[in-house]
Amino acid sequence: MQHPTTIRLDQDTVIRLDEIAAATDSTRAAVIKEAVEQFLAYDAWFRLKVKQGLDAAREGRVVSHDEAKDRMRTLGIALE
């Protein structure tokens, strides 16, 4: 069951939503619904990753700063 809700957006945001809706042959409401769903999925993922990181830190499963930099370098990431 869907529940209606109301939000207030500035004109520029509405224009951008309408542009996306037109480009995707969709509606403003559908674009907003998809954006909210994507945000909620990302937020759940982010909170889980933060919890996993905090749990790892509490359990001592961490690496030193230098080791982290070394691992990044092995991935081809240039540092300093």
Q: pLDDT, tens digit, for every residue of 3-51?
A: 999 999 999 999 999 999 999 999 999 999 999 999 999 999 999 999 9
Burial class (CB in 10 A: 0-12, 13-18, 19+), 39: exposed
> What would the two tokens of residue 39 be?
């945000």
Helices of type H across 1-80? 11-23, 28-58, 65-74
**Phi and psi, residue 61, nearest 5°:** -85, 75
Q: How confident is the model at residue 69 (pLDDT cuts 50, 70, 90)?
A: very high
Residues in the chain, overall count = 80
Q: Where do the structural domains in the chain lie, given as residue ranges?
A: 11-74
pTM, rounded to two decimals? 0.77
What pLDDT sits at residue 75? 96
**Phi and psi, residue 60, nearest 5°:** 80, 10
